[in-house]
Every structure is written in structure tokens, then in C-alpha cells.
Amino acid sequence: MVPPGPPGPPPQGGQAQGGRAQGGRAQGNPAEGSEDGATADVDGTEDLIEAEGPDVEVSTDAPPANDLSPEDEALLADAATGIAEDRLSPSDRDLVGEMRTDMLRAQAELVNFRKRVERDRDANREAVIAEVVRALLPALDDLNRAESHGDLAEGPMQVIAQKLRSGFDKFKLVQIGEKGETFDPNVHEAIVQLPTPGATGQTVADVVEPGYKLGDRVLRAAKVAVAVPA
């Protein structure tokens, strides 16, 4: 066993044992803890390693981009449905086909029901308007007779007649029955027949009371005198 030697000389130049003095600052203090929990022994700036390349921040909050169009998504959905049906048994596949047929039939019935409801609503509206206008036809007849006698030339009744007729025009009320036209039992009501020499058919000889039509609906047939062959 070798005996220990004599103690060495004290540190020179004011250096502290266990560290080096540089620029009046001790460098022997332990460095801060590293990421793995161990203590990094860094003596100077020359021991630091510069990272290569710029720092890049990666965001994980952005949603993934969806480049599929609605048509492509529909094709994928159809393909997935076809694959799922291929895995079914023949009995289950027939059941799926029947359910799809029932669904299409129900959709067609719903569309037809909506169209029928809209058509019935329009028909009911036209029927109500026709009943209201038909109830006002006697007043319109009185105005026409008063006008033919010259009673509406001046005064407030002329203004009332104009407003009433303009209101009827909004609902497309049309007067029917003209002298000289061919007799039509759908729009004419013959109250008298007049044998006329030279007549080759039934024509309207005179209009006793005009008729009215609202759209394609005849509210009142025209009362006429019909000229017939003698």
C-alpha cells in the first residue's frame, strides 16, 4: 500500500477549488435541470449547440381538409350501401328491397297528396269567390239598367258603379251573351224561340238578361231569345 503524499500547493490566481474563475464570475455552479431530469454540466457558451433550422410550430387544432364534392360523397355512400347489402343473406336482401319499394311508394303517395291538397285549396277558394260574386249580380244588373236609362250620367252612383265594376274585373268577371252569336246551351238560356225566315240555324236574336262567367265557371247563363228557321 502506497502512503499518501504530501498535500499539494494551494490554487493559484484566486481560483476556487471545484470551479474555474473567468471574468470575475464563478463557473462551477451546477446548471439547471435538463429535460430528462439530469443535471447538465455546461461550463461556457462554447458548450451550447445551436439548433439547426428555424423553429416550426405545428398546429393540431385545424380540421382535416375535405376535398370531396357532394357527388363524390353520394357515390361513396352508395358504394358503402352496396357493400353492406352484399354481406346480407338472400332473405335479408329481399327484405331490404321490399322496404325500399315501400319507402318509394310512400314518398310518391305523399307527393300526390300534397298536390291534391293544393288543387282542392285552389278549387275551394274559387268556389267561395264565385258564390260572393253571384250574390252581387242583381246589384250589377240594376246598375246596368240605370246606366242604360241615363241615371248614372252624373252623381255619386256613377262613382259607386265604377268601383264595383273594377272590383269585379280583379276577379276576371266576364259578361256573356251577345246578339247575333250562335246559340250555345252551355252559356245561353233560351226563354223564347222566334221562327225567322231565312235562318239556317239557332242564333241569339235578343239578350233579355246578360250572363256572367268567372274564369271557366259560368255563374249565370244569359237569358236570350233564339231565332230558329221558320
DSSP SS3 for 157: helix
By three-state DSSP, how is residue 201 classified? coil
How many whole angstroms separate alpha carbon 100 and alpha carbon 204? 62
Q: Output DSSP code: residue 45.
A: G
Q: Amino acid identity, residue 57?
A: E
pLDDT at 80: 57
Residue 210 is predicted with a pLDDT of: 92
Q: What is residue 85's predicted lDDT score, i.e. its pLDDT? A: 58
Q: Which helix (H) or strand (E) holds 198?
A: none
Of 160, 177, 164, give the one whose Cα is nearest residue 212: 177
DSSP conformation class of 27: -
**pLDDT at residue 213, rounded to an integer:** 93
The Cα–Cα gap between 215 and 183 comes to: 20
The percent of the chain in helix, strand and coil, each rounded to the nearest 5, is: 40, 20, 40
Q: 188: which residues sit within 8 A by CB, 6+ positions away?
A: 177, 204, 211, 221, 222, 224, 226
Q: Give the dihedral sign, CA 110/111/114/116.
A: negative
The reported pLDDT for the residue numbered 56 is 46
What pTM did the predictor assign? 0.50
- How far is it, in rounded angstroms, from Cα 226 to Cα 53? 109
183 forms beta bridges with: none
Q: Are 171 and 131 in contact (CB under 8 A)?
A: no
pLDDT, tens digit only, all 230 positions of the chain: 444 555 555 444 444 444 443 444 444 444 444 444 444 454 554 554 454 545 545 444 544 445 667 766 766 666 556 555 566 677 777 777 788 888 889 989 999 999 999 989 988 888 899 999 999 999 889 888 888 888 777 778 888 888 888 888 888 899 999 998 999 999 999 999 998 888 888 999 999 999 999 988 899 999 999 999 87
